[in-house]
Amino acid sequence: MRLMLLGGPGAGKGTQANFLTAHYGIPQISTGDMLRAQVKAGTELGLTAKKVMDSGGLVSDEIIIAMVRERITHPDCQPGYLFDGFPRTIPQAEALSRAAIPLDAVIEIAVDDTEIIRRLSGRRVHLPSGRTYHIQFNPPRVAGKDDITGEDLVHRDDDHDTTVAQRLAVYHAQTAPLIAYYQQAATAGHNRYIRIAGVGAVTQIQRQILAELSTD
């Protein structure tokens, strides 16, 4: 399974990625998580990326493409992979295609902006693992603590209202054009294109994605 999740900030990509990667035994390649790991490690790349992420913009295509090209060579990607938050621009998608890194299915999780704002204001994250919760819609067993490790959850720096508005604007301008790009690629037989309404219970959305993936 070589999958890509496409959708706005807070559409539920990370939430569904946790489930799908466990189900198919494939790694999650989240460029957002990879960048946050660099920020945490205090690398030069992390310092540059943090400024861009906190402003709601996108990190440069060259940095992202180099990171993914290196990650995809790891042996755990042999049985497949799931891209979460990548590609995010047309040049990133074209670089993927040029590098002959295939996608079996692109899964769009469609959620409107009002719902996204509600979700991100209540999201809490376990930074070391990328596991996400919502204080109301998907709460951890113990408030403020990760279910698996019991460590603290945080409200991401880029989940505050003004940054979310900028992330949404950037999504509509630079990432949403990938919808038409991958629909056309599907028509040409390069990948399947699956559109799921991302509103409703997390488990219901999981079932819909699995049902779509299991049809030919």
- Binding region for ligand AP5 (CB under 6 A): 7, 9-15, 31-32, 35, 52-53, 57-59, 64, 85-86, 88, 92, 119, 122-123, 132-134, 137-138, 158, 167, 198, 200, 202, 205
Report the nearest approach of ligand AP5 to the CB of residue 138 (Å).
4
CB 9 within 8 A of CB 112: no
CB 20 within 8 A of CB 209: yes
> Which residue is catalytic, options 36, 119, 124, 167?
167
The tokens describing 197, both together, are 């309404």
Residue 207 known to be catalytic: no
Nearest CB to ligand AP5, comparing residues 29 and 105: 29
CB of 67 to ligand AP5, least distance (A): 9
Let me know if 82 is exposed, middle or buried by CB neighbors in 10 A (0-12, 13-18, 19+). buried
Q: Does the annotation count 156 as an active-site position?
A: yes
When the beta carbons of 99 and 216 are compared against ligand AP5, the nearer one is 99
- The helix (run of H) or strand (run of E) holding residue 97 is helix 90-98
Active site residue 88: yes
- Complex with ligand AP5: residue 80 or 122, whichever CB lies closer: 122
> Active site includes 13?
yes
Measure the CA dihedral 9/13/15/21, to 10°. Answer: -150
What tokens were used for 49? 């990326």
Q: Catalytic: 141?
A: no
Structure tokens belonging to residue 67: 């990171």
Exposed/middle/buried for residue 107 (C-beta within 10 Å: 0-12, 13-18, 19+): buried
Active-site hit among 2, 36, 123, 124 = 123
Kindly name the residue from 2, 36, 50, 88 that is annotated as catalytic. 88
> Catalytic: which of 2, 50, 131, 156?
156
Catalytic residues: 13, 88, 123, 156, 167
